[in-house]
Amino acid sequence: MNALTKTNFHFDGQTKVYHGKVRDVYSIADDILVMITTDRISAFDVVLPKGIPYKGQVLNQIASKFLDATSDIVPNWKIASPDPMVTVGYKCQSLPVEMIVRGYLTGSAWRTYKSGIREICGVKVPDGMCENQRFDKPIITPTTKAELGTHDEDISREEIISQGLISESDYFQLEKIVLELFERGSEMAQKQGLILVDTKYEFGKRDNQIYLIDEIHTPDSSRYFYADGYTENFEKNMPQRQLSKEFVREWLINNDFQGKEGQKVPEMTDEIVQNISNRYIELYENIVGEKFKKTEYTSDVYIRIEENIKNMLARLIF
């Protein structure tokens, strides 16, 4: 069961490297970013002990496709994807807020609503709504970008502006952009028999212009429902069929792990790893609507990635 779980490259002009839960990001000449989507998998803020073959390729190629499909709405950081697991793009000054768009009352928003609260991130939500109910129009529920080891915090439009996190003009521009992105994502999902339920977007600035950064509309950053059966399940108050990595969290919960102190990650047998890999490939094919083409793992996968990145960087900066 091969999987790429670790990188330690040294590229010409490299100034910094950041190893996240899933992605390794190399900064080149303080102007270009090389983002390698590894096969690491995390849940409950914990990186699981085994990688998942093809997961990195799945996430990178979904994000790459959606970045291309939305570039007419807002410029994005991507320059090219020189390898199935790699995207190279512009380094932007990250804005300190994540923009979450919700088309349906579910997840953490439902838990907040269920507790009796009728205002989420400054957005008023009417009485009488049910779990998984569609909003009359999508709502924007921003969060702060948490430092490593801490959790994102809900924040309102008014707080963002009053605290000077983002200027008023930039923030209103962001609201317009994310609603257009969500509409485009919803249209693309509908063609695949899916519902884009909610998703998060991250932005940065470069040359004083707003850029979309990071991933977009992947199963790690978004929640999808299957359109077929949605109405029937909603009317019967039954769970919706989801397309996300929720199945991984459910497996962990069923094996008494939620990332709490003293809990142990259940054994990841080859069968479990293979099943998760198969599910990610299924996610790709359902979201993108194309057959997934495996880039086979061989002993020189590390060399392949390194060479593809070096060739790309040579064309960009040298």
Q: Apex CA 73: angle with CA 70 and CA 76, to 5°?
A: 65
pLDDT of residue 300: 81
Instruction: Give the integer Cα–Cα distance in Å for 171 and 96.
Output: 11
Instruction: Give the integer Cα–Cα distance in Å for 284 and 64.
Output: 12
Instruction: Give the integer Cα–Cα distance in Å for 187 and 194.
Output: 9
Q: Could you give the C-alpha distances from 282 to 54, 72, 116, 245, 275, in angstroms and in order?
A: 11, 28, 37, 11, 10
> Which residues of the chain does CATH 3.30.200.20 include?
14-92+247-317
Segment 110-125 shows an average pLDDT of 95
Instruction: Give the integer Cα–Cα distance in Å for 157 and 40.
Output: 34
User: At residue 23, what is the residue type?
Assistant: R
User: At residue 142, what is the residue type?
Assistant: P
pLDDT, tens digit, 9 for 90 and up, residues 157-185? 999 999 999 999 999 999 999 999 999 99
How would you label 237-265 residue by residue, b for 16+ Cβ within 10 Å and e otherwise?
eeebebbbbebbeebbeeeebeeeeeeeb
Number of C-beta neighbours around residue 98 at 10 A: 19
Burial class (CB in 10 A: 0-12, 13-18, 19+), 164: exposed
Average pLDDT of the residues of the chain? 93
87 phi/psi in degrees, rounded to 5: -125, 135
Give the architecture (CATH level 2) of 94-243. 2-Layer Sandwich (3.30)
DSSP string, 14-69: EEEEEE-SSEEEEEETTTEEEEEE-S--EETTEE-SS--TTHHHHHHHHHHHHHHH
Residue 150 has pLDDT above 90, yes or no: no
Strands 194-206 and 46-47: unpaired
Give bridge partners of residue 243 from the DSSP assignment.
224
> Which residues of the chain does CATH 3.30.470.20 include?
94-243
pLDDT, tens digit, 9 for 90 and up, residues 28-78? 999 999 999 999 999 888 999 999 999 999 999 999 999 999 999 999 999
Class of domain 14-92+247-317: alpha beta
Instruction: Give the integer Cα–Cα distance in Å for 20 and 163.
Output: 28
Long-range contacts, 229-237 (Cβ 8 Å, 24+): 230/132, 230/195, 233/132, 234/130, 234/132, 234/133, 237/130, 237/131
Structure pTM?
0.90
Q: Which residues contact 160 (CB under 8 A, 6 or more apart)?
A: 97, 142, 166, 171
pLDDT of residue 316: 87
* Of the listed ranges 49-53, 249-253, 273-277, the one predicted with least confidence: 249-253
Q: Apex CA 170: angle with CA 125 and CA 175, to 5°?
A: 30
Half-sphere exposure of 168 (CA within 13 A, CB side): 2
pLDDT of residue 245: 82
154 phi/psi in degrees, rounded to 5: -60, 145
